[in-house]
C-alpha cells in the first residue's frame, strides 16, 4: 500500500512538472503578463535546490553541533533536537536561496516569501511521507533494500525543492 502511494506521488509530481513545462513556448518574450516557463530553468531549480538543501542541512547541523558543544551530557536529547532543527533550517534556506537565485536570473523575478513558503510545504510533506513509510523507525519489509531506501531518500530531499520551485514559478513576473 505504501509503495502505491509513493508511486502515485511521484507520478503526480512528474506529471505536474511536465504539464507546466509544456504550458508555453520555450523562448521567453518580454511583455505584459507572466514570463513563460522554461523547462531547463525549472529542472535546474529543482536539482540545484535539492543538492544545495543537502549541503545546507549538513552545514546547519555543524553549526548546531558547535552551538551545543558546551551542553551537559544529561541534555543529549535536547542537544540532538537543536542540532536537527538547525540542520533543517540551514537546509530550508539553502533550498529557498538556490531556487530563488536560479529563478531570478535574467529579466525574470519572483517572490522569495512564496519560495520559502513552498519550501516549507515541501519539507512538511517530506516529513509526513517519512513518518508514513517509516512508522516510528520501523521500515516495511519491502523498504529494506538499498534501491527502495535511495528512492525514499531522493524523494524526501527533493520535495522541499519541488515545493519551492512551484511556489517561485507561481509568483514569477518580469523585472521592471
pLDDT tens-digit map of 57-106:
999 999 999 999 988 888 888 999 999 999 999 999 999 999 999 999 88
Q: Which three cell numbers stand for residue 170?
A: 507561481
47 falls in which pLDDT band (50, 70, 90)? Answer: very high
Using CA atoms, how far apart are residues 52 and 161, in angstroms rounded to an integer? 9
What is this structure's pTM?
0.73
At residue 106, the pLDDT reads 84
Please give the share of the chain, as a percent, with pLDDT higher than 90: 45
Helix (H) or strand (E) holding 147, with range, is helix 146-170
At residue 143, the pLDDT reads 57
At residue 28, the pLDDT reads 47
Using CA atoms, how far apart are residues 163 and 121, in angstroms rounded to an integer? 6
The whole-number average pLDDT for the span 12-31 is 50
Amino acid at each position: 500500500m505504501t509503495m502505491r502511494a509513493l508511486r502515485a506521488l511521484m507520478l503526480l509530481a512528474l506529471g505536474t512538472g511536465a504539464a507546466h513545462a509544456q504550458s508555453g513556448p520555450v523562448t521567453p518574450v518580454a511583455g505584459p503578463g507572466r514570463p513563460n516557463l522554461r523547462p531547463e530553468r525549472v529542472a535546474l531549480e529543482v536539482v540545484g535546490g535539492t543538492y544545495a538543501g543537502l549541503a545546507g542541512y549538513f552545514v546547519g547541523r555543524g553549526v548546531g553541533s558547535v552551538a551545543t558543544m558546551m551542553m551537559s551530557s544529561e541534555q543529549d536529547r535536547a542537544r540532538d533536537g537543536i542540532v536537527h532543527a538547525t540542520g533543517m533550517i540551514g537546509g530550508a534556506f539553502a533550498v529557498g536561496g538556490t531556487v530563488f537565485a536560479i529563478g531570478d536570473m535574467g529579466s525574470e523575478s519572483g517572490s522569495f516569501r512564496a519560495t520559502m513558503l513552498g519550501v516549507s510545504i515541501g519539507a512538511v510533506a517530506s516529513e509526513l511521507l517519512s513518518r508514513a513509510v517509516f512508522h516510528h523507525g520501523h521500515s516495511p519489509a519491502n523498504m529494506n533494500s538499498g534501491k527502495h531506501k535511495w528512492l525514499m531518500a531522493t524523494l524526501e530531499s527533493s520535495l522541499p525543492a519541488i515545493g519551492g520551485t512551484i511556489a517561485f514559478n507561481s509568483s514569477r513576473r518580469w523585472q521592471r
